[in-house]
């Protein structure tokens, strides 16, 4: 019997391949799995940040938290008006201006994005893995943003006088990955930065990039930015040269 290479590939991916068939359709079991995956993806978009748990878990690793908000008012507006998700509301600006301790080179930001559950699950675990690997001082308050987009990290980093801004944000949920998180790092964060100024580490989740390796990549990027005073497309990923003799 000829070997089915699709079934072999299925051992290495959560992608919807080698599903089989029943006549001209998918097997009933696969149809039900698809409907479940679709429901989980929809639920992920409307999930809420668990600020209380994020705050408690942050304390365990020696970090404080501050909750701020973009100019978005609800889930519908978040999907329809991305630009407002890149801007802080006025109360949040006042809160950050009055933050007592802004000392540090790197600010860490956590935002719901399109999957709040992703950051609820992964954010603090990744930060815990990352902190020992960093060679620069961290601002010891994690800024948690409701209804934030990636570029809000520029506004926050600029207000905190940070050299580097790191934002952990829930990715757009897929049918096999409703709880995947991305990390974006920007040197010299400031309002008006465009996407080519950022570096991204994506697919941080149990079935994807594990915390230890993601933390290693982020520490490498932060080190390169600190040394070269640049970020984004000008930074080349030579991680293996950096960590291996």
Which of 235, 19, 222 lies closest to 106 in space, CA to CA?
222
Q: What percent of the chain has pLDDT over 90?
A: 66
- Bigger pLDDT: 20 or 107? 107
Annotated binding site for adenosylcob(III)alamin: 150, 171, 200
Q: Which residues of 66-76 are buried (b: 16+ CB within 10 A; e: fewer)?
A: bbbbbbbeeee
Classify domain 51-243 by CATH architecture: 3-Layer(aba) Sandwich (3.40)
The Cα angle at residue 146 between residues 140 and 151, in degrees rounded to 5: 75
Query: Which of 78-82, 102-106, 150-154 is the most confident on average?
Result: 150-154
pTM of the predicted model, to two decimals? 0.87
pLDDT at 43: 67
Q: What is the DSSP letter of 114?
A: T
Residues 100-121 have a mean pLDDT of: 91
Annotated binding site: 150, 171, 200
For the cut 50, the answer to whether the pLDDT of residue 245 exceeds it is: no
Residues 120-144 have a mean pLDDT of: 96
Instruction: Return the sign of the alpha-carbon dihedral for residues 17, 19, 23, 29.
Output: negative
Give residue 83's pLDDT band: very low, low, confident or very high (50, 70, 90).
Answer: very high
> Which tens digit of pLDDT belongs to each residue from 177-233?
788 999 999 999 999 999 999 999 999 998 889 999 999 999 999 999 999 999 999
């Amino acid at each position: 019997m000829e070997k089915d290479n699709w079934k072999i590939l299925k051992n290495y991916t959560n992608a919807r391949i080698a599903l089989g068939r029943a006549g001209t359709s998918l097997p009933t079991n696969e149809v039900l799995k698809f409907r479940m995956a679709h429901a989980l993806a929809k639920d992920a978009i409307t999930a809420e940040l668990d600020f209380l748990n994020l705050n408690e878990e942050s304390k365990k690793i020696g970090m404080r938290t501050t909750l701020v908000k973009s100019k978005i008012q609800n889930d519908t507006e978040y999907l329809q008006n991305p630009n407002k998700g890149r801007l802080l509301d006025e109360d949040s600006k006042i809160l950050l201006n009055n933050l007592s301790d802004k000392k540090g080179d790197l600010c860490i930001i956590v935002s719901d994005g399109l999957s709040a559950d992703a950051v609820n699950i992964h954010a603090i675990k990744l930060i815990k893995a990352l902190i020992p690997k960093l060679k620069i001082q961290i601002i010891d308050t994690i800024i948690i943003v409701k209804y934030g987009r990636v570029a809000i990290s520029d506004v926050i980093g600029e207000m905190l006088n940070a050299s580097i801004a790191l934002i952990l944000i829930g990715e757009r949920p897929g049918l096999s990955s409703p709880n995947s998180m991305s990390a974006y790092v920007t040197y010299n964060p400031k309002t008006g930065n465009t996407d080519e100024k950022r570096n991204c580490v994506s697919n941080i989740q149990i079935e994807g990039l594990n915390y230890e390796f993601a933390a290693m990549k982020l520490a490498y990027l932060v080190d390169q930015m600190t040394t070269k005073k640049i970020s984004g497309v000008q930074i080349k990923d030579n991680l293996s040269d950096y960590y291996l003799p």
